[in-house]
Amino acid sequence: MSLIHLHLHRRLFSSTARPSRPSRAWSPHAAFAAATERVRAGNFSWEDAHNLFDELLRRATPVPKRSLDGFLAALARAHASEACRDGPALALALFNLVCRDESGARVAPPTIFTYGILMNCCCRAHCPDLGLAFFGRLLRTGLKADLIVANTLLKCLCHAKRTDEAVNVLLHRMSKLGCVPDTFSYNIVLKSLCDNGMSQQALDLLHMMAKEGGGCPPDVVAYSTVIHGFFKEGETGKACNLFHEMMHQGVEPNVWTYSSIIDALCKARAMDKTELVLQQMVNKGVQPDNVTYNCMIHGYSTSGRWKEAVKLFREMKSRGLIPDISTCNSLMTYLCKHGRSKEGAEFFDAMTAKGHRDVISYCILLHGYANEGCFADMIDLFNSMERNEMWEKGVSPNVVTYSTVIAALSRMGRLTDSMDKFNQMIAMGIQPNTAVYHSLIQGCLMHGGLVKAKELMFDMMNKGIPRPNIVFFSSVINSLCKEGRVMDAHAVFDLAIGIGERPDVITFNSLIDGYCLVGKMDTAFKILDVMELVGVEPDVVTYSALLDGYFKNRRIDDALTFFREMPCKRIKPNTVTYGIMLGGLFRAGRTVAAMKMFHEMIESGATVRISTYNIILGGLCQTNCVDEAIALFQKLRAMNVKFNIETLNTMINAMYKVQRKEEAKDLFAAIPASGLVPNESTYAVMIRNLLKDGAVEDADNMFSSMDNSGIVPSSRLINDIIRMLLEKGEIAKAGNYLSKVDGKSISLEASTTSLMLSLFSRKGKHLEDIKLLPAKYQFFDGFG
């Protein structure tokens, strides 16, 4: 028995008699009418139900049929409130009560309307099988089902995941019940088919509607449902075709149709197409709603286009729409992922002031603070969740928020603090899950707490939680190796073996790569020997790691010899292997050998990816074979090879290097036509080269374009611009860029400070121009 039914059972069927309340003339009709109004107002409670039916059972007055039906119908539609969390479940429990033997004589038999209400309650209370039982009872009483009951039957079948039966009832059995399906009938089944990944069947049913003589043609809801289903299944082409078919049939899309299309395009990062759909929507007189704007704001945020997201946020408010928690969470997520948690906190505070925040909002900001190392802010925010007023408002720490804080503390190496939070959550009755244990264990392994890690693993097993497997240990070993802490990684490797885990090829490869990274090639090969001895076969990744190690340690000939041994071991080099060979040979200045290796790669049948071409083009440029690089680039372009933005960045820089400036500018201008978007590196290449050529205004305009695109300049770029402007005597412009230095994401480099000191000290040649700099940099004239 569910808690809701158990609670009602205890209250309504208790043997303890309640004192009767004196009333001069109690009217069931008036009592039910008052109760119905209170249900609609959201303030009818379980206690009120208890009192009402206590009085009903105590008296001999017959229950008015229409009054009871109206009351049950109101409960069925009631939204969850503080007074009553589940109106449909309460309606079912009360109906069962009045149908008991002691009250049966005073209650008229249920009508077709009553059964429709009860079946609907069953769907809303997530008890569809009970709804089907009510339908069976209806048939046994001899009542004839009407269209409303038949449609509710379809809902019960669909909620019970019996969609095939629902289709059968819709197409065959409804006519036997004396009912003709309407558009609502079809829409119920269409939605269920789409919800269960059967959108093609839904489309077949929709076309069947259109061919059934025009009696029940598909409406905007039918089309929108199937369009949304296709988008969910990744069938974008079918969704778009159906949208055009819908328009051709004269069915005008509504806000839900457009929002579904916009949502799908946003998830595909096709924001330009999204803007066209939004414009078409407005032109058709369909006004975007919160869902539409939330989809687009989320799309722009996840695409890194902050300015467009903020512009839409403002437009949304200008249209009179009130941003909800989803809107603000999307904006906060962007800010926190881009190291701007302080700004994210401003959104959070604004939401909190209006009462709009949930556990997700807290998690977003906690993650942001954790990633930026803002320990004090993270703890303050977390502690605010523990305060009584937060609990009263429905926001309290849960396993997710504890997991976020514990993971952050563990990453920082604050193991004592993370264990304190771990013990605190247990004391509050929140059971740690696998993620919490993994964070703690990983923290211990990364910061030398191997003994504590073993204790936590045994604690997991005692609680019936599976301990970390070799995949987990391999991840930790890989992280330690990437940090150059190969000895610590080896200790974790030994611990994993000690508790009975069997290292796999990934574990060994991580350890081999770690030893190669620190230059211990002999030890790396010893690990290879152990690997083979215990029966773990080396793979192409193993050999690629060792080859990379040879190149990083400038043992070029050893790398070439080892590469030639691969066929003897029946290991075929792949794209990554050839990429390592090409990159290593180019860095060593062996251009001829690298190009020979490239031709060998082609002949071997290995896939040549754009990353391979980038290595070759970049290598040719590094070895002063720029003309050859440009010729190869043009040849690939003629072959319609799809480049990425890294390729174009390399070639623009190369063209400037050999004074082919107009070609470089043309290539930059053609970037949008190639379907690519300039990134920070693209703008940096252009700005640096424009400044080298003395085109200061053009460089300034290029920086403005970057800024308008929402791309954040790197600290390195800002320093380069400042130095180049200062060296050209453009003091005022250099001052503009100095104002962007915030000491956080952008800081002055030593070389920039040194140049400023030489230019603006007492003997500097630009001493008289120091007032053109921001005030905080005008102290240089105090130096001799």
Per-residue pLDDT reduced to its tens digit, 379-401: 888 877 755 464 444 455 678 87
Report the distance separating Cα 121 and Cα 115, nearest Å: 10
Q: How confident is the model at residue 15, as a pLDDT? A: 39
Nearest to 441 by CA among 425, 427, 422: 422
> What type of residue sits at position 192?
S
The residues near 70 (Cβ < 8 Å, ≥ 6 apart) are: 32, 33, 36
Q: How many CB atoms lie under 10 A from the CB of residue 104? A: 10
Strand partners, 63: 107
The stretches in the chain having pLDDT less than 50 are 1-23, 101-105, 388, 390-394, 784
The residues near 467 (Cβ < 8 Å, ≥ 6 apart) are: 457, 460, 461, 499
Nearest to 422 by CA among 410, 3, 413: 410
Q: Which helix (H) or strand (E) holds 297?
A: helix 290-302
Report the distance separating Cα 112 and Cα 120, nearest Å: 12
Token pair in block for residue 502: 């069997």
The residues near 152 (Cβ < 8 Å, ≥ 6 apart) are: 116, 119, 120, 123, 131
Supply the angle between the helices 470-482 and 486-498 in degrees, to the nearest 10. Answer: 170
The residues near 765 (Cβ < 8 Å, ≥ 6 apart) are: 759
Report the distance separating Cα 699 and Cα 691, nearest Å: 6
> What type of residue sits at position 768?
E
Note if the pTM is more than 0.85.
no
The answer to whether 381 and 368 have CB atoms below 8 angstroms apart is no
Q: State pLDDT tens for residues 177-198.
A: 888 888 999 999 999 999 999 9
The answer to whether 344 and 365 have CB atoms below 8 angstroms apart is yes
The answer to whether 504 and 535 have CB atoms below 8 angstroms apart is no
DSSP of 223-278? HHHHHHHHHHTT-HHHHHHHHHHHHHTT----HHHHHHHHHHHHHTT-HHHHHHHH
User: What are residue 702's phi and psi, to 5 degrees?
Assistant: -65, -40
Is the Cα dihedral 170, 173, 175, 178 positive or negative?
A: negative
Q: How confident is the model at residue 780, as a pLDDT? A: 56
Q: With b meaning 16 or more CB within 10 Å and e meaning fewer, what string describes 228-251?
A: bbbbbeebeebbeebbebbeeeeb
Q: How confident is the model at residue 513, as a pLDDT? A: 94
Q: How many CB atoms lie under 10 A from the CB of residue 440? A: 27
Report the distance separating Cα 414 and Cα 447, nearest Å: 9
